[in-house]
């Protein structure tokens, strides 16, 4: 029986989330091993950048490209395909990719992780632009979704409302950057500090919080 929820706040087009991916996968596996059945994982979409058809300003392109290079230095093994910046027309718009995750959930929630990975690989490794609907539909097809249903879902008002609701929930529990981890126990929300190269750092925090909660519960009233 789950005694806690670990919220993972992210954006499919957040480069730090891409760098964090291997350690995040390792943390989930470690929690399943060290605290089986005690922690439910729940993904939250942060919605970094709203919809726009305007090209990304040159200065912003340079800053983000430099961020990719810095991440490669700080997180060993992280790969980026810098051809994106010459082969695509970048836009500062991540909401379409966020809605793609929700549209996938609406059709086949068990494929959400595959959809997320498909978006990240398209953006960071294949120099394709997940701000474009056609690219997202191609990824949906590769994920095994019904593309017609996916397209209807991603363009629906319900999909947009769900995104805005998740963004608002992130703000309500004081999440302002991505990736972020927040552990919910009862009515209490605790920020889990992130380390991009060691899952043990975060595992220790979560297990300690679980242990404290168990100790409190065992005390006589």
Distance CA(129)–CA(97), nearest Å, equals: 10
Which residues are 180's β-sheet partners?
Answer: 9
Predicted local confidence at residue 220, as pLDDT: 52
- The number of folded domains in the chain is 1
Predicted local confidence at residue 3, as pLDDT: 87
Predicted local confidence at residue 23, as pLDDT: 98
| CATH of residue 66 | 3.40.30.10
Average pLDDT across the chain, whole number: 96
Predicted local confidence at residue 216, as pLDDT: 66
Positions in the chain whose pLDDT score sits under 70: 1, 216-221
The parent domain of residue 96 ranges over: 4-218
Task: Extract the runs of DSSP E, i.e. beta strands, from 65-187.
Answer: 180-185
Please confirm whether the linkage preceding 179 is cis (ω < 30° from 0): yes
Predicted local confidence at residue 213, as pLDDT: 80
Q: What is the pTM of this model?
A: 0.94
How far is Cα of residue 159 from the mean position of the Cα atoms in its chain? Answer: 17
């Amino acid at each position: 029986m789950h005694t806690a929820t670990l919220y993972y706040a992210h954006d499919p087009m957040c480069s730090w989330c891409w760098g964090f991916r291997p350690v995040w996968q390792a943390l989930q596996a470690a929690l399943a091993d060290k605290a089986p059945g005690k922690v439910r994982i729940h993904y939250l979409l942060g919605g970094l950048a709203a919809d726009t058809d305007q090209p990304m300003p040159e200065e912003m392109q340079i800053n983000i490209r430099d961020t990719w290079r810095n991440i490669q230095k700080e997180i060993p093994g992280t790969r980026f395909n810098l051809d994106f910046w010459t082969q695509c027309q970048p836009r500062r718009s991540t909401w379409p990719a966020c809605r793609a995750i929700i549209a996938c959930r609406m059709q086949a929630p068990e494929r959400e992780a595959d959809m997320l990975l498909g978006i990240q690989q398209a953006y960071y490794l294949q120099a394709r632009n997940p701000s474009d609907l056609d690219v997202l539909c191609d990824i949906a097809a590769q994920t095994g979704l019904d593309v017609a249903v996916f397209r209807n879902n991603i363009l629906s008002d319900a999909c947009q409302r769900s995104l805005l609701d998740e963004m608002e929930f992130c703000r309500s529990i004081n999440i302002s950057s991505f990736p972020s981890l927040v552990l919910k126990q009862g009515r209490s929300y605790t920020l889990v500090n992130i380390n991009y190269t060691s899952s043990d750092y975060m595992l220790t925090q979560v297990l300690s919080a679980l242990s404290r909660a168990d100790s409190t519960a065992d005390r006589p009233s």
